Structure 1
Amino acid sequence: MGELKDTWEDEVYKVANRIRLRVLKHTIENNGGYLSQACSSAEILSTLYLKVLNLNEVEKPIIPPKFPGTPGPDNKSYFNGGIYNGERSKDTDRFILSPAQYALVLYAALIEVGRMDTSGLDEFNKDGSSVEMIGAEHSPGMEVTTGSLGQGISQAGGIALARKLKKEKGRVVVFLSDGECQSGQFWEAVQAISYHKLDNIIAYVDINGYQCDGKMTTVMNIEPFHERLKAFGARVFRIDGHDVDAISALGNLKPDGRPTFILCDTNPSRGINILNKRKPKFHYVRFKTEDERESYRREFKKLSKKFQ
């Protein structure tokens, strides 16, 4: 009998695990990183890039150019981070990363799906680099600067409305974190995109239950989140955010006149159990001692054998 081929689900899970591994390695080498965000969102981002987003290919993995300077009519060298998502057309999707602190996770995803060169992470957070720690409109995979939390959905709404008016078929797919959904701007945006019937928006929300100050429910509880969104006129689904079949299926639904929100309940230590020692302070990993850093090195070696 011939060797069984991997299913698409197998491939997506492999990419998700490699995203975690790459972010873990980077965090160890740089004594800091948004590691829990990789744990919670890896399946979402890998499924988006491999199964949901309708994007044009790139000729080869892109080596990130240097920061091009302030955009304007006199800056001929300016570029937009959307180039990593291929050439745009009226039929292709537009991807918006709202929580810009997830930039490192997005960079890892772009590398794993062949859109960004592996050398790109060598420029992470360096002066003059476009590979910023908190991504901006020139950073890999990002086409807008989402600024303070909660602004990504507003910008997605504006782009989606413009695409509607132009009768473009492409969608606007936006990735959000649960913490930013506490802000008033988020709810104003949901009200607006529902009112304008922007059913060309699909929003995936990473609900890992934690933010920089601890548990979501102890900082500002937004539950029942799905019921609140429905009350604002959205079409809402709630799923296991590590179930790639569910993530994919809901990303390919027919529009019905309402913006779609897919609430993804996730685990902030998924695949890297050593993170549980930090609970409830998952938000950013910085090592307090060299012994602690060494424990993460051992974790990386163990996971490398498992995932590579």
Structure 2
Amino acid sequence: MCDMDWIEEARSIANGIRKRVLGITIERDGSYLSQACSSAEILATLYTKILKLNESTAPKIPPAFTNVPGKNKGNDISGKNYNGKGSSHTDRFIVSPAHYAAAVYAVLAEVGRMDQKGLDQFNTDGSTVEMIGAEHSPGFELTTGSFGQALSQAGGIALVRKHKGDSGRVFVFMSDGEFQEGQTWEGIQAASFYKLDNLVVYVDVNGQQVDGWTKDVMNIEPLDKKLEAFGASVLRVDGHNIEALAKSSEPNKDGKPLFVLCYTNTSEGLPLLDKRKPNLHYVRFKTDEEKMQFSKLYESM
């Protein structure tokens, strides 16, 4: 596949993520739609170009929830199986902001790791395709809430892999609001101390959170300077530029964890959302007319 082919494929997948999550939002009368808009190219590029994963070993249509994981509990379900059987040379992918679940499920459907019928189960009783992803949800390896816990968990995995000499890296997808959490900074400090240059973190810096603009709730900028002060390597990219996203993943051996700050737009591809900014954390249509507008947009995508 030539460079232009994979770029066009990733762009198509990103648009497909937005359309699928818009469809969920219309069908379920609400979802985390803006997060899909901002993260679509990040997730599409990760699954198309960056992540080294084996084929999925999970059923295309996710089974119903049976048990929480544990010994002697029968048919336990693990969402990590959608990223294939791990080995020393494959990557691990940890999703930190569990409310991005719809976007994660959508990218799995786009790349053929999950069937659309699985996506149709979204947020229904008894389904593992939950609104807030957990370790049994497709594409999720760990339960990462409360907010900010995933980086510490991923750091532990990366440390073990480094000691074992694995060539595969540990990738983490985070949201910018998590940098208001103390445990996040503890995780960064530990990753820097243990020289985890096999840890790569992609951050959706969309500038919005449940209470409005991040800069007004608790400003995190200059995020790059803060991360560098904690001992990380940092790249800033346009989070909708697929080529820049892919290039930013090139391995470094400088003994530092890599943070790729992806600056994004929460209405990318769906400009009808612009008038709602900054109140886009969870999108529910306020009138039948508004729902009709978005339904027409969905049909045109």
Question: Does TM, scored on the shorter chain, surpass 0.5?
Answer: yes
How many Å separate the matches in 2 of 1:60 and 1:195? Answer: 36
Corresponding position of 2:157: 159
Question: What is aligned with 2:69?
Answer: 71
Where does residue 140 of structure 1 map in the other structure?
A: 138
Aligned match for 2:90, one of 89, 92, 108 = 92
Match of 1:218 in 2: 216
Which moved further from structure 2: 286-295 or 207-216? 286-295
The structural deviation recorded for 1:280 is: 1.1
Aligned to 1:176: 174
Could you tell me which residue of structure 1 aligns to residue 192 of structure 2? 194
Confirm or deny that 1:33 pairs with 2:62.
no
Q: Is the 8 A contact 1:61 1:114 kept in 2?
A: no
Inter-partner Cα distance in structure 2 for 1:78 and 1:255: 38
2:230 to 221, 232, 235: 232
1:242 to 240, 243, 246: 240
Given that residues 199 and 258 in structure 1 are in contact (C-alpha distance below 8 angstroms), is that contact kept between their aligned partners in structure 2?
yes
Q: CA offsets, 1:226-267, max 9 Å, x none?
A: 000000000000010011111111112233210000000001
Shift of 1:6: 5.5
Change in Cα spacing, 1:103 to 1:197, as seen in structure 2 (3 Å) is: same
Correspondence for 1:258:
256
Deviation at 1:180, TM superposition (A): 1.1
**Does 1:21 find its partner at 2:19?**
yes
Q: Quick one: distance in 1 between partners of 2:43 and 2:164?
A: 28
Q: Unmatched 5+ residue regions in structure 1? A: none
State the partner residue of 1:121: 119
Instruction: Give the counterpart letter for 2:156 in structure 1.
Output: G
Contact 1:70–1:78 (8 Å) recurs in 2:
yes
TM-score (norm 1): 0.94
Counterpart of 1:284 (choices 263, 282, 285) is 282
Q: Report the 3-state secondary structure (helix = DSSP H, G, I; strand = E; otherwise coil) of the residue aligned with 1:218.
A: helix
Structure 2: which 5+ residue stretches go unaligned? none
Per-residue Cα deviation, 1:72-110 (whole angstroms, up to 9, x for no partner): 111131121010001111111000000000000000000
Q: Contact 2:208 / 2:278 at 8 angstroms: preserved in 1?
A: yes
Aligned-pair distance for 1:190? 0.4
For 2:279, give the aligned amino acid: K
Return the alpha-carbon distance in structure 1 between the equivalents of residues 193 and 80 of structure 2: 28
Q: CA RMSD in A?
A: 1.5
Query: Are 1:81 and 2:85 matched, yes or no?
Result: no
1:46 aligns to 2:48 (yes or no): no
Distance 1:290 1:181, change over 3 A: same
TM-score by length of 2: 0.97
1:209-236 deviation line (CA, Å, top 9, x unaligned)? 1000000000000100000000000000
1:9 Cα offset (Å): 0.8
For 2:203 and 2:27, the matched residues in 1 are separated by 29
Could you tell me how far 1:175 is from its partner in structure 2? Answer: 0.2
Deviations 1:106-156 (A, max 9, x none): 000000001011100121112221111100001000010001111111111
Instruction: Say which is worse superposed, 285-294 or 184-193, in terms of deviation.
Output: 285-294
Residue of structure 2 in register with 1:269 after alignment: 267
Count of residue pairs brought into register by the alignment: 300
The separation in 1 between residues aligned to 2:292 and 2:58, in whole angstroms, is 36
Q: Distance in 2 between matches of 1:60 and 1:68?
A: 15
Letter in 1 for 2:14: A
1-structure distance, mates of 2:58, 2:110: 13
1:10 to 8, 11, 27: 8
Q: 1:230 to 1:127 in 2, by over 3 A?
A: same
Q: Percentage identity across aligned positions?
A: 57
